[in-house]
Structures are given as C-alpha cells and as structure tokens.
Chain A
Amino acid sequence: MTEQIKRIFGIDLGTTYSSIACVDEFGKAVIIPNAENERVTPSVVFFDDDSIVVGDVAKESSKLYPNEVVSFVKRSMGEPNFIFLHNSEEYRAEEISAYILKKLAQDAEQQLGEKVTDVVITCPAYFGINEREATRKAGEIAGFNVRHIINEPTAAAIAYGSLDSNDERVVLVYDLGGGTFDVTMIDIRKDSVEVICTGGDHNLGGKDWDDRIVAHVVELFQAETGTDEDILDDPDTWQDLQLSAEKAKKILSQRPKTPMSITHGGERVKILLDREKFEEITEDLLERTIEFTKEMLDEAKNKGYTHFDEFILVGGATRMPYVKTRIEKVFDITPKIFDPDEAVAKGAAIYGWKLGLNDGLIERLAQKTNKPIEVIDDISAMIESKELFAQDFREAAQEVADATGYTLPSVERSMLKVKNVTSKSFGVVAHTPQNEEIVFNIVLRNTTVPITRKKNFYTAVVDQKTVLIRIMESETSRVEVPPEHAMEIKTAVLNLPPNLPADLPIEITFTLNEEGRLHITAMETAESRQIDVLVDTASVIQGEDLEKAMARSQNLVVH
C-alpha cells in the first residue's frame, strides 16, 4: 500500500458494545480486535483514580466500583444535563464517548502499527441533529478527523451490498442494538445505496430486555426472602444484576433455561429462568419493534415502495430466537441474520475506504485536467455532462489501482453513491394570521438529503435590528405542527442591516447535508445582502467545556 491513499477507519460506537474496522489489502472489510483480543469492546468507561479504563475490565469493575463506572452513555448523547462527576471534575457524554473511541483507536494502532487519524463513525438513523453533532464532537475530542457520520442501517446495508454487488434489490434492515432500534428500507443498486425510509426508537434496545430480567429477578428475590426492600437501591446489587441479566439473555438465546443467583445483604437466592418466561415478560418490547416496522412500511408505500426483497437482521439483540419467528409470522418472510455484531463497523469501514479511493481519484483527475480539486466533486455526474473525459477517468482509476494494489473494478466502484434520508422534520416557529404559534416544517422527514429549501419570512417593523429563529425538530410528516409536538434544537439570531422597511422578505435557507447536519443562511431581499446567522446549539458540548475536554483527552492514555 502506498502512502498516497489515507486509510479511513469505520467505527461502530454502540450503546453497549463498540468496534472498529478497516478494509484490508484485499479489499475486504475486517474487524480489528482490541488489546484483549476481543472483536467487540464493551462501551463502558471506568474512572480508576487517575487513569481511565475502557472495555471488559471496566465492565467487570462496575460490580466493585459501581459509582466510578459509566455505561450506556450513548443514551445521553446531546443531553445537556447529563453529568458524570469524578474527582470533582465534570464529564459530559461526548467526552466519555471520546474515551471509548480512543480505546478502539489505540488498540487498532497497536495491532496494525499505523496511526488512526481519519474515521467514519456510525449513529442510529433515528438520531436527531443534537445527537449527531454530539457524536461528531466525541470524535473530535478523541482527536480524530471525523470524515463522516453515517447511519448504522446504511452502514449495515453497505456491508451487505458489498457481498454480492451485482444484484439490485430492496432490503429492510431491522437493527436492534444494545440501546436503540432502527428499521430502514434501503434500495441497493449497482452504483448506489439509497435509503427510502427510516423509523425507530432510540430508547429501545437490548438493555430494555435486560432491565425486564432484572425487574423479574428482583421480584423473585423479594418473594423468596419476604423482604419489601428495593434491592436495586444498592448500587453493587444493581450492577451485579445488570451484568448477570445480560448474560442470562444471551444464554437464553442459545438454550431453553439458565440459572441465576442473586446475592444481597447476606442472602443468596438461586432461580432458574426459562425462555418462555423471558419471552412473556418482554413480549411488549418486541411488539413495539413490529409496530415501528409496520409504520415504516406504510410510509414507504407513500414513496412508491410497496415491496421489499429481503429482511435482514442486524444488532446483537436480534439473536433472540423469538425475534425471527415473530417477524416470519407477521411479515411472511424469512429474515436473514447478517453478521449482527460487526456489519455496522465493517460497512462504515467500506464507506471510509471508498471515500479514500475517491479522494485519490479526484487528486489524480485534478492533475490530469488541470482543474482545482474543489471543482471535482461528483465524478460520475461530470463524466455524464462531458466535463470530464471517460478516458481520463479510466487512466486515473488504473493509476490508483496500481498504486494501492486494489483491483480496477473495486476502484471504479468506489464512486458508490450513498443517498440518505432525514429521520426528522425540521422547521421554524412561525405565527399564523390568527397570531397562533405553529411550527412550520421546511424539510419533512424521510426527504432525501442533501437538500436545500428556502422560505421567506418578513420583518415586522421598520428598521428591525434582529430576527430570532427557533429551529424545531419533529417526527411527523405534516407541514404544520403545534409547538408542543416539536423540540427546539437551535436558536438562530439574524442580525439585520440598518434601515430596512417593514414587511421585507428575508429569505431563509435550510440546507441539510448528507450526514443530516443543518446549515442555515439568510438573505435580505432589498439589496440581496447575506446576513449573519448565529447558531447556538446549547445542548451539545461547546466553548470552554469543549476546549477543556479536548485538552484533557490529548494527554490521556486509555487502558
């Protein structure tokens, strides 16, 4: 491999487990095991006095030091009021996630003897703007050049699509992870992966199944010992049960029953949990995933997709046998369990690899055609419009193939287009003629991104100085939504030039890029001057907190 093509790594930053992958010299995506030689690393962080420990050791430590261990931090991404206190220092979810990322990268560097600089990180399709921004920030705090934030089901589909790339088909990705559930319909074609529709719940995942087991055994413990005490108030017991519940769930996916033991306050109770009981106490959770899938299929119908070819299961929790049987029964199709723990990281790595090859191609094409690099963005569109010659492209591709050792077809295929949709609707708070506040959605959910939409707003008085725009995120496909059904994600202040008349249209432009990041521009229409838009994302780490986190992370070695 030459130095010219920078290796871009794919990271699956999961609620319960994370992993890192790259594409090897044979063009195949591989998981890089961690220092403990495990292919997935628990997303658990242990603050051990002065050092920070991530992974299995941290997870095991949670039983002994429950108050120094953070788990499931992904569920708090973008939550401004989540704070972990250690040695009177405050840590936010973004920073704790950064430590997980650091651990993955460090171990990979050790294995490969190569620095990890550029990464593609995945997040649930159902993440909103704040959570995405927070994920990107976590990568930055860890010191990476975050090339892209890509949706988990999209990554899984890329991994799935790369297996047999000649077949064009519509697949449904049912991704039940440790903490989140996504269901996505994806159209896989020769040169593109297009997301049609997506839905889900980022508070529904394997952990909820574990929690049900915990609650169940607590009841049994109370019945057995005759105590009314909530034994979960004891952090040691809580952590202990949380871990054994996870183990029990995994065993029950393989065997019909499993023994469990609960020790608390000197009393020890042994119980036998069988699969039937487990499925009974968690049935409603499974039912919710089915409902989300049905709703998503309804939405897909509105976009003209009435049929899908394959139903693939991703995410560790899909190993529970009744997931498969229930889906078979409801949707009359045999789902395929596809590499449930690793598909996402691998897909991200493939996507990163293609980005890298694409970079190389662009660089060479720029040299050949004497065009600046920035001009060449969409190569296939440029070939089609005759701005580039096919001959130049083939030569450049051959050069890249020679330099990297990858085959010519795989280099040519690096132009794979990924089309995504936004999982949320975005709009602003506006006033109706009756002077009621409503949210006017400018970009509706399940719209293909990138997208640019414009809308005019009007100044209210002569010589108005500023306009306050409240940017709202919601989960409906309606244009007008009552404010209480939407969430304010950002506020933007437009500073207007002096001496504008009243009722002057100000053109506001919403641009959602392919990652789902939102950019806003504004223009006053009197003299077409561009106006400053100050955007404030209060709920994601920023300013002093961010700098502090960056500084702390720079000198930190994660164990």
Chain B
Amino acid sequence: MQRENYYIILELSVDPPENDLEIIKKTIQDKKIEWSRLRNHPTKGLQIQKFIDMIPDIQMVMLDNDLREKEAAAAAELLQAGRETKISEIDGHIDILMGKGFISKEDVIRLAELHGLAQSDINDRIATRQNAKYARLDQLISLRMGKGYLLEDEVAKIAKKNGLDPEEIRKRIRCPIVKDDKESEDLKIRPLDKSIEKALTDNLKVVGKTSLYDFLGLPETAEITELQEKATRRKKGLSAEGKKDAMVTAGITLAGQCLTIFKTNETRIAYDVSRAIAKLSALDSDINVAAINKKIRHEYFDALTTKAMSYGMDREEAISYIQSFCEKKNYHIEAKPKKKQRVLVNAVASVLLLTLLAGGGMAWYKIHHKSVRQAEYQALITQVDAQNSADQKLLLLRKYVDSHPAGEYSDDAQGRIQKIQQEITTEAFNKIILQADELIQAGHLENSLAILNQYVEKESDPENIKTIRQNIQQVSDLMEKRDFEELSAVALSGDAGQKISIFRKYLQNHPNGKNKDQVQSLISGMSDEYFIYITRQLAVYEKSSQWEDGAGLCESYIELYDNSHSDQLKQVLSVYQENIRQEKIYAALKEKADHLGADYTAALQIFKDYLAAYPKTTITEKITQDIDRLNGLIAIENINQAANRLRENLAGTKGRFVEKNSGVILDTRTGLMWCMTDSTIAQPGACLPYEKGKEYVDSLTSGGFSDWRLPTPEELSGIYETDPAFPASANLSYWTSESYSGYSDGWQIQVTTLSSEDGRHWKKNQKNALECGAVRAVRNP
C-alpha cells in the first residue's frame, strides 16, 4: 500500500512547497499535540494512531532536504493527477495491447518500464482487466442485492445482457432469489448495523482495503468456511506481529469482525446487502451535491447517469433511479436545450434513429400482412439489439442479407449494416484520437505515434486519415521539440560519446527537424573532443577484446568526419576488422567442434589442424585452451571407461569386492577400502617415481574420502594374490609403503613393489625410488 504523503498529512503548502525548517518543525509538533489529543477518539482513534506511529518517519523525511524535495514533488503530482488517472492510463495501454488477443511477456516488460512499476503489478492489472467481465457481473448483482434479495426477472435479464447462462449468474448470487416483491416480504433480510458498517469502513481505510473480501484476499464468491478459516489465520498472524501499530490493530479488529460476519450465511448476506446500500448512498450523496438550489443541471444529470451506470445499473435503471430520488427530495431536473440535442454524440443519435426505423417498419407490416418473414426479421432485429458487440450484430445481419433475396428486409438490414459500420469507423476513429491524446498527455509520444500510424495503415476513410495525418505531424513536432530539449541538456552536461550519440539520434529521427542545422554545426565543432573520447574508449575495448564495439566507434567517427584523425582511425579499423575475422573463424571452429558432441578426439583434431596451419594468430591462445580442455575431457572419459570395465570384473570376485561409495571398493574380507582407479588410469602414460606416487595419494580425493595412503606389501598382495583376487590388467608395478635406504648415506632409496606382467602372477621385489611405478591407494575403514 502506498503511504500517505507527508505534505498532505501535515497540511503544508505544496505549491510552492513549504521549505522553512522552522515552520515544518513547528507544524510537526502541533500535529503531534493534535493527534495525541485525538488518540482515543471513538471512531478515528486508529487512523490517528497510525499518524502518531508515522511521526519518526515524517521527521526523517521532512527535515532532510533531498527527501523533502522528493516528497513535495510527489505531493504535487498526487494533487494534480490523482492516482486514478495513473491506473486508467495503464488500463488504456493494456486494452490497446489486448487488442491483438493476447499480451506477450515483452508487452508486460515494456509496460512495467513505461510506468515504473513491477512486472507483477502489471500482471495483476491485466488479470483485473481480463476479469472485468465477471467483475462487472458481480457489480450488477451486488447492486441489486441492496434490497436483500434478487428477482428471478433480474437474474434472467442479467444473464441475457451478458450472454451467459442464468445458472452461471445464480452461482454468483449470495442472497435469496424470489419470484416477485411479494414473496420477498417473507424474507427477513436486514443490513448490518450502521455503526458496525462505519467501524468496518474506518478500519478498512486504515489497512487500505476496500472490503472484508479484499482484506482476506478472497473473491466475493468464496465459500463461507474458506472465509472463516482465512479470518482465523489472519488474526493469528497479525497477533504475532511484534509491532502493534495502528495497521496491525485495525487488522486484528477486522479479522474479529470477519469471524462474526462470516459466521453464518445470514450475517454474510447482511454484510453484502450493506455494501450494496452503501453504493447507492454514495450515489445519493452525489445527487445531493449536484443539486444546487434544488435544481439539477442537465450536464450534471448526464454525469450522474454515467456514475450510476458505473455502479452496475443500466441506462434506464440509472435514469429512473435518479429521477425518483429527485422526486423524493423535491429536486427539479432541468431539461436539455433543444439545439444541443442535435449535436449529441453520434452514437446516441443513431441509436434513436435505429429505434425509429425499427418502429416504422413494424407499423407497416402490421397493416399489410403478418407474414412469416416479418416475424423472422423481427426476431433477428431483437437478437441483433441484444448483442453487445458490434461485430456480432454485423455477423447476424450479413448472414441474413446473404441468405435472403433482395427486398424490404434485406435493404433495411443492409442499411443497418452500413450504419453499424459507420459507427464502428467513427467509434474507432474517436477512440484512436482519444487514446493518442491521452498518451501525449502522459508523455508517451512514441506510443501515440505508433497507434496513429497503425490507424493510417489499416483504415481507408480518407477524411479520417487526413485528420490522423495532421495529428501525426503534431506528435512528430512534439517529439522533435522534446528530443531537442533533451539534446540541449546532454550537450551541456554529457560526455562526448553521449553527445554524439544523441546528436545522431536526433538527425536520424528528425531528418528535416527545425534544429537540424544547429545540430550539424554542434557535431562539426566536436571533432577533436570526440576523437579523444574514442581513443580512450578504444583502450578499454582492446583490453577486453571487444573488437566489434571498437570498430563501431571508429566507423562512427569516420562517417562523421574526414580529417587526419579519421585517417588514423581507418588504420585501427582495419586491424579490428582482421581481429573480428579471426574471432569469426574461432567461433566457426568452436561450433564445428561442439557439433561433434562427445567425440572429443575428433574435436581435438580440428583445433590441432588449425594450429598447425596458422601457428601464430590472435586466437592462438584460445585454441590452446580448447586443446587443454579437450585433453582433460578425454582423460576423464578414459577413467570412466576403465572404471566401468573394472565394475564388470568385480562381479567375478563372488562378493569379496564391492563398490561402496562411487569409486571406492570395499574388501569385505579385510574391511580395507581401495580406490577403484589406480594411477595408471588417472594419469595414463605418466611416469610416477616414488615421491610423486606419495604426492599422488596424499592429494587424492575419491568417494568423498581424502585420507588415502600407500598400501603395505602385505595389504597389496592380500588383494592380488589371494582368491578371489582383485581384477588387474597386465604390466603393472605398484609402489608400497615399504622403503629403505640403499646406502647408509640415504642417497638411494629402495622401495618394495608388487609387479605382474600378465595381471595374474605377482612378484614382490625392490626398485629404485627414481624409477617409474604405479599407485593403488588404500584407506582404513
């Protein structure tokens, strides 16, 4: 929820904003005293407590120059526009985008950026718009619930009007449905007590919600048990809040009220009925306001009708409601002056005309013959009239014209079609003018231009297009003006890059702009400044090999200027272009290699071949890296293959050796754990002298263990020489942990090894520590 504006709460001057710290401090102090006095007011107490809770924040913002300035700006904006306009603006955009049938993710991102909102907010808004139909339906229903029940007639009417099944409507109604007013007398429906309602409204205001449903975050159609559960949860949650500020206190009170109100269907209906009545009383008070000297001017009457319709009445209902209210209150409604009536909005006039036409046609047929055709056409007209969408109306009429011979009815239908088409065209035209204007007001000139251009492309009415073209010119002028203002600001403060970029953008967008010459001369004056900027920028790009960006900059200079700097940059450009070419080659090589997938050897060959042909280029380093990377991958693959082979062979050890963790073999006979891969697999072809072998085990991590060591000769022969033996390959010579000095001065170290030529017969012998050997690591359990 958006918080209140402090300028507005403190009732300080907004235009011009009050900036005198002494006055502000005094106002805060005075407000503090006033609020303290009202702290225990029976109805406003909570709202006041909220203000008191806000004092530390108010002081922080209002006594800080920057924050206060922002606050003043926000206050001005709030006062000027009001929040509603913002929402209607967003809705307008959503409607435009929805015109194509769906809203894409990009649309949402664009809208979010445009309005400075989170994407989730925009999504919420879209959902609301999409649910507008149901919302409107609920509005129609809830307004009629004001009397405590709905008539069956009303249900049928709503269903027809919205093209829905009456059952669908019934599902959304939460009060009794009766045949006629008489039956309703048996029902004892009464609204909530006024004071409860007032308490509710006040508390909802504090928490920034519109109804108890909104407070619980549940739809108005939610089941009563669901409402109860949610209320209990809310109360628990809020009670747990450490900070019992006004918001929380109001929330707890509301949760308590939910528990009572949503206890039974009866109490819930009472609440719904109260809400409906509240809406009507809002309308009543509007009428009262409009009645100056007990007279209602006709313009006000129109506005009131629109307002009443926004609460869910249809036009006749609205008019009759207002008229009967005025009668009761003894208000006189002024008639419309005749002259004005003729220039009424086209739509109204044409509706009237159509009604007259239909009426006239009927009279004629009554006299002559009541043929089937007449009845058929009459049914069609009724059906057409009941349609909300003009497209549906057209479809029905066209179908009729296509399937019936020429004659009175077909002509009439044809006339109607033309009329509707004209209406659609006018409507679309008016809408576009309005939307374009709204977008201009909101400062979204590009969007405005876009929808105008779209119109010109799609529509054919020459008159309308002419007007639209004029509008396009106006928007273009506005854009030119705006862009030039922006440009002037950048020309004062921006760096050379920003300046040139905005100058070029201007020339590109406004090739015949009023200020074209001035911008051209600005560009000419910047040849040195821009060159220095570019050289600095190029140094940065070179460091990170951003050749494309560098080339772009060079080209931009060369395009604008022809001087010694541009000659210099041309040379730089050719180097960059070569680098770009090399990068492209590298990308192609890489793509080719990647395409080979797991065939690392083939991929390796691709890089090796290129390196052999072009040993020294700007991409040599990258290629070397790829070769290393692929070698590594090949090694891992070899290890995996060897490990898999070993796994297969383990099956032959009759359960003596089992793989415990991945890569660790448990000798179930001794409990010792052996590393699955030995050094010949991990480092194929590598010569491992004894010291290296020790380093190898020390740094080995496998199966989650790192405490590997060299085995003793006995341990090693225990797995290879007692059956069932550990699977082994040929030509192996393993180091053991047993070593001693060959000479007394320790110059030469002898190590006990276990070797086999065929992998089956093993021999213990001594070997010089400097010779090559292999390692099979072991660890204690």
Residues of A within 8 A of B (CB): 67, 71-72, 75-76, 79, 81-85, 90, 201-203, 207, 210-212, 214-220, 223, 228, 230, 232, 238, 241-242, 245, 277, 280-281, 283-285, 287-288, 291-292, 295, 424, 472-476, 481, 485-487
Q: How far is the CB of A246 from chain B (nearest CB, A)?
A: 11
Query: Are A288 and B252 in touch, CB under 8 angstroms?
Result: yes
Query: Are A284 and B256 in touch, CB under 8 angstroms?
Result: yes
**Complex interface: chain B residues within 8 A of A210 (CB):** 42
In Å, the complex CA distance between A241 and B42 comes to 10
Q: How far is the CB of B316 from chain A (nearest CB, A)?
A: 29
Q: Which residue of A lies closest to B285 (CB)?
A: A228
A215-B43 contact given A228-B285, A287-B256, A475-B240, CB 8 Å threshold: yes
- Indicate whether B232 reaches chain A with its CB closer than 8 angstroms: yes
Q: How far is the CB of A78 from chain B (nearest CB, A)?
A: 11
In Å, the complex CA distance between A510 and B679 comes to 58
Interface residue from B36, B42, B243 paired with A84 (Cβ < 8 Å) = B36
| Additional 13 contacts, C-beta under 8 A, given A211-B42, A245-B42 | A75-B39, A81-B36, A84-B36, A90-B33, A202-B244, A230-B43, A281-B196, A284-B196, A285-B256, A288-B253, A288-B256, A291-B232, A475-B240
Q: Which residue of A lies closest to B55 (CB)?
A: A81
Q: Which residue of B lies closest to A179 (CB)?
A: B40
Query: Are B33 and A84 in touch, CB under 8 angstroms?
Result: yes
Question: What's the tally of chain B residues with a CB closer than 8 Å to chain A?
Answer: 39
**Complex interface: chain B residues within 8 A of A71 (CB):** 40
**Complex interface: chain A residues within 8 A of B243 (CB):** 485-487
Q: How far is the CB of B153 from chain A (nearest CB, A)?
A: 31
In chain B, positions 477-512 with a C-beta closer than 8 Å to chain A are: none
A481-B257 contact given A76-B39, A84-B33, CB 8 Å threshold: no
Interface residue from A245, A291, A475 paired with B235 (Cβ < 8 Å) = A291
Number of A-B residue pairs at CB separation under 8 A: 122
**Complex interface: chain B residues within 8 A of A291 (CB):** 232, 235, 256, 259
Query: Are A485 and B242 in touch, CB under 8 angstroms?
Result: yes
7 residue pairs, one from A and one from B, having the closest CB atoms = A474-B242, A216-B195, A211-B42, A219-B194, A215-B195, A486-B242, A214-B42
B41-71 toward A: CB 8 Å interface, digit per residue (1/0)?
1111100000011011000000000000000
Interface residue from A75, A218, A281, A283 paired with B43 (Cβ < 8 Å) = A218
In Å, the complex CA distance between A292 and B239 comes to 9
- Indicate whether B592 reaches chain A with its CB closer than 8 angstroms: no
Q: Which residue of B lies closest to A81 (CB)?
A: B55
In Å, the complex CA distance between A203 and B46 comes to 10
**Complex interface: chain A residues within 8 A of B33 (CB):** 83-85, 90
In Å, the complex CA distance between A475 and B240 comes to 5
**Complex interface: chain A residues within 8 A of B40 (CB):** 71-72, 75, 207
Query: Are B43 and A211 in touch, CB under 8 angstroms?
Result: yes
Q: Which residue of A lies closest to B46 (CB)?
A: A203
Interface residue from A81, A220, A232, A287 paired with B56 (Cβ < 8 Å) = A81
**Complex interface: chain B residues within 8 A of A476 (CB):** 240, 242
**Complex interface: chain A residues within 8 A of B723 (CB):** none
- The dominant DSSP class at the B interface is helix
Query: Are A214 and B43 in touch, CB under 8 angstroms?
Result: yes
- Indicate whether B241 reaches chain A with its CB closer than 8 angstroms: yes
Residues of B within 8 A of A (CB): 32-33, 36-37, 39-45, 52-53, 55-56, 193-196, 198-199, 232, 235-236, 239-244, 249, 252-253, 256-257, 259-261, 285
Q: How far is the CB of A404 from chain B (nearest CB, A)?
A: 44
**Complex interface: chain B residues within 8 A of A211 (CB):** 42-43, 45
In Å, the complex CA distance between A292 and B235 comes to 9
**Complex interface: chain B residues within 8 A of A72 (CB):** 39-40
A selection of 27 A-B contacts at a CB cut-off of 8 Å is A72-B39, A75-B40, A82-B52, A84-B33, A203-B249, A211-B42, A214-B42, A215-B43, A215-B195, A215-B199, A216-B195, A218-B198, A219-B194, A220-B194, A228-B285, A238-B41, A245-B42, A283-B260, A284-B196, A285-B256, A287-B256, A288-B252, A291-B232, A291-B235, A291-B256, A295-B239, A475-B239
Q: Which residue of A lies closest to B40 (CB)?
A: A72
Taking each of B53, B195, B260, which has the highest tally of chain A beta carbons within 10 Å of its own beta carbon? B195
**Complex interface: chain B residues within 8 A of A280 (CB):** 193, 196
**Complex interface: chain A residues within 8 A of B240 (CB):** 474-476, 485
In Å, the complex CA distance between A203 and B259 comes to 18
**Complex interface: chain A residues within 8 A of B56 (CB):** 81
Q: Which residue of B lies closest to A483 (CB)?
A: B242
In Å, the complex CA distance between A223 and B36 comes to 30
In Å, the complex CA distance between A75 and B246 comes to 12
Interface residue from A67, A82, A216, A232 paired with B193 (Cβ < 8 Å) = A216
Interface residue from B42, B55, B249 paired with A232 (Cβ < 8 Å) = B42
In Å, the complex CA distance between A220 and B43 comes to 15
In Å, the complex CA distance between A180 and B668 comes to 72
A215-B198 contact given A82-B52, A84-B33, CB 8 Å threshold: yes
**Complex interface: chain B residues within 8 A of A79 (CB):** 52
A277-B239 contact given A232-B41, A287-B259, CB 8 Å threshold: no
Interface residue from B44, B53, B199 paired with A212 (Cβ < 8 Å) = B199
**Complex interface: chain B residues within 8 A of A202 (CB):** 244
In Å, the complex CA distance between A232 and B202 comes to 14
Q: How far is the CB of A305 from chain B (nearest CB, A)?
A: 20
**Complex interface: chain B residues within 8 A of A475 (CB):** 239-242
Q: How far is the CB of A336 from chain B (nearest CB, A)?
A: 26
Q: How far is the CB of B371 from chain A (nearest CB, A)?
A: 60
Query: Are B242 and A218 in touch, CB under 8 angstroms?
Result: no
In Å, the complex CA distance between A314 and B199 comes to 27
A82-B42 contact given A216-B194, A486-B242, A487-B243, CB 8 Å threshold: no
Query: Are A288 and B244 in touch, CB under 8 angstroms?
Result: no
In Å, the complex CA distance between A295 and B242 comes to 16
Q: Which residue of A lies closest to B28 (CB)?
A: A81
**Complex interface: chain A residues within 8 A of B53 (CB):** 81
In Å, the complex CA distance between A215 and B39 comes to 16
Q: How far is the CB of B261 from chain A (nearest CB, A)?
A: 8
Taking each of A67, A82, A277, A487, which has the highest tally of chain B beta carbons within 10 Å of its own beta carbon? A82
In Å, the complex CA distance between A414 and B426 comes to 94
Query: Are B236 and A295 in touch, CB under 8 angstroms?
Result: yes
In Å, the complex CA distance between A485 and B259 comes to 23
**Complex interface: chain A residues within 8 A of B236 (CB):** 295
Query: Are B43 and A201 in touch, CB under 8 angstroms?
Result: no
**Complex interface: chain A residues within 8 A of B285 (CB):** 228
Query: Are A281 and B239 in touch, CB under 8 angstroms?
Result: no
**Complex interface: chain B residues within 8 A of A216 (CB):** 193-195
Query: Are B43 and A232 in touch, CB under 8 angstroms?
Result: yes
In Å, the complex CA distance between A306 and B39 comes to 40
Interface residue from A85, A287, A474 paired with B260 (Cβ < 8 Å) = A287
Q: How far is the CB of B152 from chain A (nearest CB, A)?
A: 32
Taking each of B40, B55, B244, B253, which has the highest tally of chain A beta carbons within 10 Å of its own beta carbon? B40
Q: How far is the CB of A455 from chain B (nearest CB, A)?
A: 19
Q: How far is the CB of A317 from chain B (nearest CB, A)?
A: 16
In Å, the complex CA distance between A342 and B34 comes to 34
Q: How far is the CB of A399 from chain B (nearest CB, A)?
A: 49
In Å, the complex CA distance between A312 and B373 comes to 85
Q: How far is the CB of B236 from chain A (nearest CB, A)?
A: 7
In Å, the complex CA distance between A218 and B195 comes to 8
Q: How far is the CB of A215 from chain B (nearest CB, A)?
A: 4
In Å, the complex CA distance between A481 and B285 comes to 47
**Complex interface: chain A residues within 8 A of B36 (CB):** 76, 81-84
**Complex interface: chain B residues within 8 A of A238 (CB):** 41-42
A82-B195 contact given A288-B235, A473-B242, CB 8 Å threshold: no
Q: How far is the CB of B167 from chain A (nearest CB, A)?
A: 35
Interface residue from A83, A201, A223, A228 paired with B194 (Cβ < 8 Å) = A223
In Å, the complex CA distance between A284 and B198 comes to 14
Query: Are B42 and A215 in touch, CB under 8 angstroms?
Result: yes
**Complex interface: chain B residues within 8 A of A292 (CB):** 239
Q: Which residue of B lies closest to A228 (CB)?
A: B285
Taking each of B36, B240, B244, which has the highest tally of chain A beta carbons within 10 Å of its own beta carbon? B36
In Å, the complex CA distance between A285 and B261 comes to 12
**Complex interface: chain B residues within 8 A of A424 (CB):** 242
